[in-house]
Structure 1
């Protein structure tokens, strides 16, 4: 999954670069479409995959300020 994310991220960066290349060569509509598709892909495909990979196997309880976690922080001297 991490390899998929790297390949997709590089492909998105290349697509954005190609889109700007088209914009510079007087094909603004095609350049805008390529850039738009790359941005949408990064927002709706890359971001959810990234969040899934980063949060897999973690518990939200470890990162919330519950009474138990506050007590642990007080015991360790963290204020």
Structure 2
């Protein structure tokens, strides 16, 4: 998955750069396809890849997490 994301990113950036730097009849299309590839394909794949192994419960405010934060804060105040 990591390599697919890397290839999609390189192709999108390459398409955008080619559209900007070369005077072609279809330069605007290259820029557009590169942008679409970046925001519709690459970014969602990257977000899925990075968040697929994490639990959403760890990032929610629950009673247990509030207690952990209070304990951490109290320990920091004692140590300083």
Same structural fold, with TM-score higher than 0.5 when normalized by the shorter chain: yes
Q: What's the TM-score once normalised by structure 2's chain length?
A: 0.83
> Cα RMSD over matched residues?
1.8
Runs of at least 5 residues in structure 2 that lack an aligned partner in the other structure: 75-80
Provide the residue aligned with 1:49 in structure 2: 45
- Please give the secondary structure, in 2, of the residue aligned with 1:77: helix
Q: What's the TM-score once normalised by structure 1's chain length?
A: 0.84
Provide the residue aligned with 1:15 in structure 2: 15
- The alpha-carbon deviation at position 61 of structure 1 amounts to 0.7
Provide the residue aligned with 1:32 in structure 2: 28
Equivalenced residues, count? 75
Q: Rg: which structure is higher?
A: 2
Runs of at least 5 residues in structure 1 that lack an aligned partner in the other structure: none
